[in-house]
Amino acid sequence: MYPMKKLLTLTLLFCAIFASAMYGQNKPLYANVAFHKLKPGHTLDEAIAIEKKWKTIHKIRKDAGLISGWSVYTIVNGYKTPSIDWDYISVNLSSDLNTIGQYPMDKYAALVAKDLSFATIGEETAKVQSISYNAIVKLIDGTASSNDLNSVISMEIFKTSIPNYFNYMEFEKQMKNIHQDRINAGEIQEWSFWQTVSPLADDSKGQFTAFTFFKDLAHVDAPNNTTIESVKKRMNLSPDQFLKKIDGLRNMTQNCLVQYAVGTWNE
């Protein structure tokens, strides 16, 4: 007989696999998210300077078809919930989990032959920061890209119970139209909803992540008139009913504001 924690972990894993089959796209989009922590005595500026150097390597990976993009996001003005223990994230995107972490070593060797400074980039990186943990997430749904690299992005981590797992996924898919109404009203620029594929455990921060893109900080506190009207029209719910429905489906465990720092987008 399995201990309770192990049973919960196996159940969460089953939910993730089954949900991937239910909501899978013809060509899924995965993200390998690395959570970076600065080492004592070092600054974010130092870390980003090194990440800008890593960009050359990730551009080679993108050109080789191993990833579709790479980017780094930093926390805006320290706006984060207290439990967030990382300083910035890096994201690799790909439709293939087998290639998302691969590096073309022959092309890297050719790069080092041209510029010897790339030979020690790993050691330089390790002096400044370390990766606390990684997560693989899968895009479930979202609106069209705004292609604005200056957006302020609200990153929200959600946790739901096992009985509510699929109901919550379906609820967020319904929310897409409401977020599209918000985009049309100029309140937000973009929205996407991601499911954690691995690692999964009952003590994790959550199983889902939502990203909402705003034009600037002022739009983060925009009025909710569009949301209220859209929820009433599309879900036939009053504001109180809507909030109670959300509260019954999930809890937000973490939230922060991040912004694009460097990457391979639009290149």
Give residue-wise pLDDT tens across range 220-259.
Answer: 998 889 999 999 999 999 999 999 999 999 999 999 999 9
Dihedral angle at the C-alpha atoms of 34, 40, 45, 51, nearest 10 degrees?
A: -30
Beta strands in 143-221 (DSSP E): 152-159, 190-198, 208-214
Q: Would you tell me the crossing angle of helices 165-184 and 239-249 to the nearest 10 degrees?
A: 140
Residues 6+ apart with CB under 8 A from 191: 142, 143, 176, 179, 182, 183, 210, 211, 212, 213
CATH number at residue 22: 3.30.70.100
% residues pLDDT > 70 (the chain): 89
Q: Give the containing element (helix H, strand E) for 53.
A: helix 44-63
Q: Tell whether the model's pLDDT for residue 6 goes beyond 50.
A: no
Residue range(s) defining the domain that contains residue 17? 4-263
Nearest to 77 by CA among 46, 107, 44: 44
The predicted-structure confidence for 62-110, as pLDDT tens digits, reads as follows: 999 999 999 999 999 999 999 999 999 999 999 999 999 999 999 999 9
| DSSP annotation of 237 | -
Question: Taking residues 17-24, what's their average pLDDT?
Answer: 41
Which residue has 């609200």 as its token pair?
154
pLDDT confidence of residue 204 = 72
pLDDT at position 150 is: 96
Mean pLDDT to the nearest integer, 182-188? 96
Instruction: Indicate the pTM of the whole model.
Output: 0.88
Which tops the pLDDT comparison, 4 or 148?
Answer: 148
If you average pLDDT over every residue of the chain, what do you get? 90
What is residue 230's three-state secondary structure? Answer: helix
pLDDT in the model for residue 79: 97
User: Residue 254: phi, psi to the nearest 5?
Assistant: -145, 150
pLDDT at 41: 98
Which H helix or E strand runs over 226? helix 225-235
The answer to whether 33 and 137 have CB atoms below 8 angstroms apart is yes
* CA distance linking residue 156 with residue 253, whole number of Å: 8
**Cα–Cα distance measured from residue 75 to residue 95, given in angstroms and rounded to the nearest whole number:** 27
| Omega prior to 104 cis, within 30 of 0 | no
114-173 confidence digits (pLDDT tens): 999 999 999 999 999 999 999 999 999 999 999 999 999 999 999 999 899 999 999 999
Q: What pLDDT does 203 receive?
A: 64
Nearest to 196 by CA among 164, 166, 161, 157: 157
Assigned token pair, 2: 């399995």
Q: Does 15 score more than 80 pLDDT?
A: no
Cα–Cα distance, 46 to 42 (Å, whole number): 7
Tokens standing for 114? Answer: 């041209």
Q: State the total domains in the chain.
A: 1
**Residue 172: alpha-carbon gap to chain centroid:** 16
